[in-house]
Structure 1
Amino acid sequence: MKCSGCQTESKDLNYYTCSNSSCKDVYCSTCSKTPTMSTSRQKLWVCPSCCAKTKKGGDNTNTPIRGSNESSNLNVAPRNKPIAPPSQKNEENSGNELKELTGEVRRLTQLISSLKDKLDEATQSLSKCHVRLEELASSMVAADDRIWKLEIRDLELSELKSSVVLLNQQLNSQAQNHLKNEIEISGLPENTNENLNHTVLLISKKIGVELQDREIDWVTRVGPRRLPLSGENKSNFPRPVVVRLLRRSLRDQMIKAAKSRKNLNSSDFDIQGATLKVFLNERLTKENRLLFREARILSKEKNYAYCWINQGNIYVRQKEGKPAKHILCHEDLERVFGDINSKSANP
């Protein structure tokens, strides 16, 4: 089949014939451009030559559509509408769009660069946080170990304190047991050339106890010497006299007899100085003396009827018929009298 458009022999099976009854020219699919048309339009298709004759009213055989047989240019295509060159306005629009696109790409590049920098900073910060967390974990382990050691140390200290308190109580008990043969006499005026052995013998005779000089181990005043106060017949309270006897039973007998004589005073023994009441008591250690003093103060505040000493031991009793309570330490005062820190009376 020879195409009337390109004047070449074509083996194309898709050829198309002009619908004009007076033409009947055959064109290949490339020259006719009918494959892009619908089937109904293909049936009504008119070749370019017939179209030219119809529009211009004459023969248009010299158009580039057909060409002569002697022409060597065989690649003749059907006449198409020329493509108009792009206008200046379109070029400017394209240039502006390109500039905007370039600007957007530049901004995106800067944003990506900034995000990359921030990501690097975040990575470094996370690395530092990781190192810090490891240090904190190590510190917590060390702190836990230290706390555990401190708890063990506190337990040991508590045990040691309990042991020290127990040892002090034992030492105080032994010291008090060593004083069980001694009597403390208070209220005897102090003179320069006094004879304390003779005074003790007079006191024993006054209270009705037979005491001989050989039964006295030693007699002395205890405590620092006190200076007399200024003024006539005024002096400080004299230092107590301590008597150590060879027999404990004799000491107990003298203390019991002195308690029955409530109005015993220094004028009964012809001692120079101010007239003072004389008391005979068991001698106590310093700890027991302070504890007994505090127990007497609390007994008055808490309305306890009795507070006394027996064989170096301190006892209190709320009233007649109630059991006696033994006071060994300050903890016993809290146990017996309750809260001893809120004392209303002054000692």
Structure 2
Amino acid sequence: MPLKRTPPKSPNVATLDVHPLQTHSQSDPSLSVTNNPETIITKTMQRVKRKRDRSADQSELDDFKNTIMDILKELQSTVSEIKEQNVKLQESVDFTAHKYDEILTKMKQMEEARREDKAYIISLENKIDKLEQQSRATSVEIRNIPKRSGETKQDLLHTLNNIFKVIKLPPQETDVKDIFRNHKKTSTPTMIVEFGTVKNKESLLRHIKKFNKENCNNKLNTEHLSIQGPKLPIYCSENLSSKTKRLFFLARELASQEKYKFCWTTHGKVYLRKDEGSPLCRIESEGDISKLRVQK
């Protein structure tokens, strides 16, 4: 007897709760979201945007690289120019240094030559002063004798002879070679007396010094010579050269300031002495005056 197979019952469609878009299973709800058209479109746009962003970033990076390369090229060009300028500057410095050394050498040579010239000039001045002093070796200066109107050499000799008589100078020591006044425009220009020998000159100075020492309260003056007018002291000294006169002036000034007891000249030389028995100081230049001031 034939078997009858009864087909299984079809499940009731009404009993299955199936989403219209669900085709296979309900186990992964994300599938429904992924397959959402709006979501798909959004994600597609995001991927396109990300691609565009990467493309834009790459473009910006390329622009940045190009900018950096331009800056580097400009910097390299600037550095090259600076190097070239430094080379020129170094050459200029070397040239200037060389010229400076040359100028310094010339200045040293000129300074040395100036020292030699100065020493030579001083030497010449000393020689000239020595010759000038030798030419005045037999002369004396007599100061404070008033000048007469229309005065002649005979008048001067008469005044000089009166001095000889007052100081009691022996006649054999009164040999006068010349007598005159200097050319300074004063009321009592100095009388210059030139003797025939140095011995006669020194004899006059010695007798005047002796007279003044013996008559300390009434030293040689115009009254002794019967000269009318106010009483004036008469001074007699060696006829010094210009240089020696200045040294004598400075020495007297120093003696007054520093209490030197003696200051005098003899044979055209200037001397100082602090006190009796103290060392003798000869003044040969203004530097000697400065040294004595420093030693104080």
Query: Shorter-chain TM-score: what band?
Result: 0.7 to 0.9
C-alpha spacing 1:311/1:156, structure 2 compared with 1 (3 Å): same
State the shift of 1:213 in Å.
Answer: 10
- Higher mean displacement: 324-333 or 268-277: 268-277
Q: Matches of 1:217 and 1:284 in 2, distance apart?
A: 18
Q: What is the TM-score when the length of structure 1 is the normalising length? A: 0.67
- Higher mean displacement: 210-219 or 258-267: 210-219
**2:110 aligned with 1:169:** no
Please say if residues 133 and 241 of structure 2, whose CA atoms lie closer than 8 Å, have aligned partners that are also in contact: yes
1:87-166 aligned at under 5 Å gives the runs: 87-166=44-123
Residues 186-223 of structure 1, C-alpha deviation per residue, up to 9 Å, x if partnerless?
A: 11111113300111111112111123698211110113
The aligned counterpart of 2:9 is none
Letter matched to residue 220 of structure 1? F
State the shift of 1:261 in Å.
Answer: 2.1
**2:178 aligned with 1:218:** yes
Q: CA RMSD in A?
A: 2.2
C-alpha spacing 1:212/1:266, structure 2 compared with 1 (3 Å): farther
Instruction: Percent identity, please.
Output: 19
**Which segments of 5 or more consecutive residues in structure 1 lack a partner in the other structure?**
1-83, 227-235, 341-347
Letter matched to residue 103 of structure 1? E
Among 208, 222, 239, the alignment partner of 1:258 is 208
Please say if residues 201 and 212 of structure 1, whose CA atoms lie closer than 8 Å, have aligned partners that are also in contact: no
**2:241 aligned with 1:281:** no
Letter matched to residue 301 of structure 1? Q
Q: Matches of 2:117 and 2:292 in 1, distance apart?
A: 26
Please say if residues 144 and 233 of structure 2, whose CA atoms lie closer than 8 Å, have aligned partners that are also in contact: yes
Q: Matches of 1:127 and 1:322 in 2, distance apart?
A: 77
Please say if residues 138 and 201 of structure 2, whose CA atoms lie closer than 8 Å, have aligned partners that are also in contact: yes
Q: Matches of 2:141 and 2:292 in 1, distance apart?
A: 28
The aligned counterpart of 1:77 is none
Please say if residues 270 and 282 of structure 2, whose CA atoms lie closer than 8 Å, have aligned partners that are also in contact: yes
Q: Relative contact order (alpha carbons < 8 A, sep ≥ 6): 1 or 2 greater? A: 2
The aligned counterpart of 1:247 is 197
Please say if residues 173 and 203 of structure 2, whose CA atoms lie closer than 8 Å, have aligned partners that are also in contact: no
**Which segments of 5 or more consecutive residues in structure 2 lack a partner in the other structure?**
1-39, 213-218
**2:150 aligned with 1:193:** yes
- Higher mean displacement: 316-325 or 87-96: 87-96
State the shift of 1:88 in Å.
Answer: 3.8
Number of corresponding residues:
248
- Secondary structure (helix, strand or coil) at the match of 1:316 reads strand
The aligned counterpart of 1:205 is 165
Q: Matches of 2:235 and 2:254 in 1, distance apart?
A: 22
State the shift of 1:168 in Å.
Answer: 0.7
Please say if residues 181 and 251 of structure 1, whose CA atoms lie closer than 8 Å, have aligned partners that are also in contact: yes
Q: Matches of 1:334 and 1:296 in 2, distance apart?
A: 13
Letter matched to residue 175 of structure 1? E
Point out the structure with the larger helix share. Answer: 2
Residues 4-24 of structure 1, C-alpha deviation per residue, up to 9 Å, x if partnerless?
A: xxxxxxxxxxxxxxxxxxxxx
The aligned counterpart of 2:28 is none
Please say if residues 205 and 211 of structure 1, whose CA atoms lie closer than 8 Å, have aligned partners that are also in contact: no
Please say if residues 173 and 200 of structure 2, whose CA atoms lie closer than 8 Å, have aligned partners that are also in contact: no
Q: Matches of 1:213 and 1:275 in 2, distance apart?
A: 28
- Secondary structure (helix, strand or coil) at the match of 1:276 reads coil
Q: What is the TM-score when the length of structure 2 is the normalising length? A: 0.79
State the shift of 1:116 in Å.
Answer: 1.2
Please say if residues 218 and 243 of structure 1, whose CA atoms lie closer than 8 Å, have aligned partners that are also in contact: yes
